[in-house]
Chains A and B, each alone.
Chain A
Amino acid sequence: MSLWKPMFDAARTTIRNLGRKPITAMHPFEPRVRAPRYRQSFALLHEANGDEACIGCKKCEKICPSEVITVGTAAKRESPATGKKRGWADDFTLDLQACIVCELCVQVCPVDAIVMVRVPNAPGFEREDLFLTMKRLYENEALPHAPAIGSSMIASHNPAPAAAEAPKEPAA
């Protein structure tokens, strides 16, 4: 009997799973629930006053391990909203095909200009579909953002946080 009992046990396990509800998620018919911190594609942001946030400092370009970001720095000129002189970027491209989704560009941005978005780019038929131009990056600003952004990440990495701030809050 010792030979047959384990065979029956295995059979019983598989039949028991027959009764369980399948765990298949039927997307794209049902939306897939992603974690709040899920990050996939990118967006460039505008400031509250309407200016483009990116100052063309190229820190993201330098830190990217896969070298997917190319920033064209424009000459310094006045901002139409505040009137102060600041840097601008006249071109910003991000090759999503080679991106390894490491989030380092978000971490180092000093002005919180780049952020990751929670919606993946729809698959496309051409390489151009996965090559984010500046125009598309600013269009992506409308998509839901992942919570992590440069200043909050750096704040959460502070080795001596202020006494009031308890790190157990949902920091990025």
Chain B
Amino acid sequence: MNMLFGSPVLHALILGVVIISALLGVTSYFIWVERKFAGRMQSRIGPEHVGWKGLLQPIADAFKLLIKEDITPKSADRAMFNLAPLLAVTVALLSLAVLPLASGLVIADLDVGVLFFLAAGALTVVPTWMAGWGSNNKYALIGGMRAIAQSVAYGVPLVLAALVPVILSGSMNLSHIVAAQAGGHWFAFWPIGPGFAAGILFVLATLAEGNRIPFDIPEAESELVSGISTEYTGMKFGMFYLGEYVHSLVGAALFVTLFLGGYDGPGPDVLVLQLAWFLLKTAVVSMLLLWVRWTYVRLRSDQLMTLCWKYLLPSGLVLVVASALWVWWKQQGGLA
């Protein structure tokens, strides 16, 4: 269904509203899943009493955040302070526009889809910085500075890692990238080597862009109280929190699209089945990211930068060259 009602604008609007609402609902329950999962890993149960097995906990949390007092510090930069949380959620949702959930089920089938989501990923630093500066708080300022350094630094391996599927499939359109992986030839596993390594690089860079442990120095709670979100109360804080989880889910979905074949999976090419495969793969990848989050301690800020510039960037360059060489070799006839 490439065009709903025959017009790309209407198609984007309706599908966008549906998918974004679905995503926000899923994110709230992803928070529930995370809390239960983390609880079980720590020999305790997560939320249990609000609703059956704690299923109403996200709703209770959202309600609690809504009824809290909304404080804006007197000397804060009001425009930046109030705009930052809104932008945090918006920018995190932007990448959703180019994700193909099933064949044809994409909000905006851009020919430069990869470029679009990389640009959106780069934008995530803006609300973080706005929060850091606008709070007029030294802890938030340090958090904001660290966020800029980290986002700018890890943007480069992100781009390089995302380039590998582009080279391997020959197109920046995400639907074409997924189509190139059809039949089980997922880029993470075929060709052996560059795809897998690029996948790992992509995961690390996405974790860093999304400020997840082990890269969560902008909001390092044990050092910076709450980092950039120190001065935020109520639903504004909730927006930062939600934005972080949305970014994590969308990052996992992008990883699935680029490296794990998107909606590709055994079975007939039915829309519902494709959607199911996509969601299943995203769920598995998200759980893996959660597992990483709840197991490791965080890196120091300069070690994080060292990791990026000295290890991830050269690896990314090597991988791009390697994948380009592989494609050239294939074109020259390869093994045949």
Contact with B along A20-36 (1 / 0, CB 8 A): 10111010000000000
**Assembly CA distance A11 to B294 (angstroms):** 9
Q: Cβ of B41: which chain A residues have Cβ within 8 Å of it?
A: 14-15, 17-18
Closest to A19 in B: B40
User: Does B222 touch A at the CB level, under 8 Å?
Assistant: no
Contact with A along B6-37 (1 / 0, CB 8 A): 00000000000000000000000000000001
| B291 and A11 contacting across the interface, CB-CB below 8 Å | yes
State whether A11 and B40 are in contact (beta carbons under 8 Å apart), knowing that A22-B45, A24-B45 are contacts in the complex. Answer: no
**Assembly CA distance A19 to B41 (angstroms):** 8
Q: Cβ of A10: which chain B residues have Cβ within 8 Å of it?
A: 295-296
**Assembly CA distance A22 to B48 (angstroms):** 13
User: Does A7 touch B at the CB level, under 8 Å?
Assistant: yes
Q: Cβ of A13: which chain B residues have Cβ within 8 Å of it?
A: 295
Q: Cβ of B294: which chain A residues have Cβ within 8 Å of it?
A: 14
A52 to chain B, nearest CB (A): 44
| A22 and B40 contacting across the interface, CB-CB below 8 Å | yes
A133 to chain B, nearest CB (A): 35
Q: Cβ of B40: which chain A residues have Cβ within 8 Å of it?
A: 17-18, 22
| A22 and B291 contacting across the interface, CB-CB below 8 Å | no
B333 to chain A, nearest CB (A): 35
Q: Scan residues 94-129 of chain B and give those whose CB is less than 8 A from a CB of chain A.
A: none
| B43 and A20 contacting across the interface, CB-CB below 8 Å | yes
Prevailing SS type, chain A contact patch? helix
Q: Scan residues 48-92 of chain A and give those whose CB is less than 8 A from a CB of chain B.
A: none
B53 to chain A, nearest CB (A): 13
How many chain B residues touch A (CB < 8 A): the figure is 14
| A24 and B291 contacting across the interface, CB-CB below 8 Å | no
Q: Cβ of A24: which chain B residues have Cβ within 8 Å of it?
A: 43-45
Q: Scan residues 32-58 of chain B and give those whose CB is less than 8 A from a CB of chain A.
A: 37, 39-45, 48
A17 to chain B, nearest CB (A): 5
Q: Cβ of A20: which chain B residues have Cβ within 8 Å of it?
A: 43
| A23 and B44 contacting across the interface, CB-CB below 8 Å | yes
**Assembly CA distance A23 to B43 (angstroms):** 6
**Assembly CA distance A82 to B45 (angstroms):** 58
| A17 and B295 contacting across the interface, CB-CB below 8 Å | no
From B37, B44, B295, B296, A22 is in contact (CB under 8 Å) with B44
Q: Which of A11, A13, A14 has the most CB of B within 10 A?
A: A14
Closest to A7 in B: B296
**Assembly CA distance A24 to B296 (angstroms):** 23
Contact with A along B294-313 (1 / 0, CB 8 A): 11100000000000000000
From A15, A23, A26, B291 is in contact (CB under 8 Å) with A15
Q: Cβ of A11: which chain B residues have Cβ within 8 Å of it?
A: 291-292, 295
Q: Cβ of B39: which chain A residues have Cβ within 8 Å of it?
A: 22
Q: Cβ of A22: which chain B residues have Cβ within 8 Å of it?
A: 39-40, 43-45
B197 to chain A, nearest CB (A): 13
Q: Cβ of A17: which chain B residues have Cβ within 8 Å of it?
A: 40-43
**Assembly CA distance A17 to B37 (angstroms):** 11
B44 to chain A, nearest CB (A): 5
**Assembly CA distance A87 to B44 (angstroms):** 54
B315 to chain A, nearest CB (A): 13
| B291 and A14 contacting across the interface, CB-CB below 8 Å | yes
Q: Cβ of A7: which chain B residues have Cβ within 8 Å of it?
A: 296
Contact with A along B42-83 (1 / 0, CB 8 A): 111100100000000000000000000000000000000000
Closest to A21 in B: B43
Closest to A16 in B: B41
**Assembly CA distance A20 to B296 (angstroms):** 20
**Assembly CA distance A44 to B205 (angstroms):** 67
Q: Cβ of B37: which chain A residues have Cβ within 8 Å of it?
A: 18
B50 to chain A, nearest CB (A): 14
Q: Cβ of A23: which chain B residues have Cβ within 8 Å of it?
A: 43-44
B311 to chain A, nearest CB (A): 10
**Assembly CA distance A17 to B44 (angstroms):** 10
**Assembly CA distance A15 to B287 (angstroms):** 12
B203 to chain A, nearest CB (A): 13
Q: Cβ of B48: which chain A residues have Cβ within 8 Å of it?
A: 26
6 nearest A-B residue pairs (beta carbon): A14-B295, A14-B41, A24-B44, A22-B45, A22-B44, A18-B40
Chain B contact residues, CB within 8 Å of chain A: 37, 39-45, 48, 291-292, 294-296
Known: A17-B40, A17-B43. 5 other contacts (CB 8 A): A15-B291, A18-B37, A20-B43, A22-B44, A22-B45
Between A and B, 5 residue pairs with Cβ closer than 8 Å are A22-B39, A22-B40, A23-B43, A24-B43, A26-B48
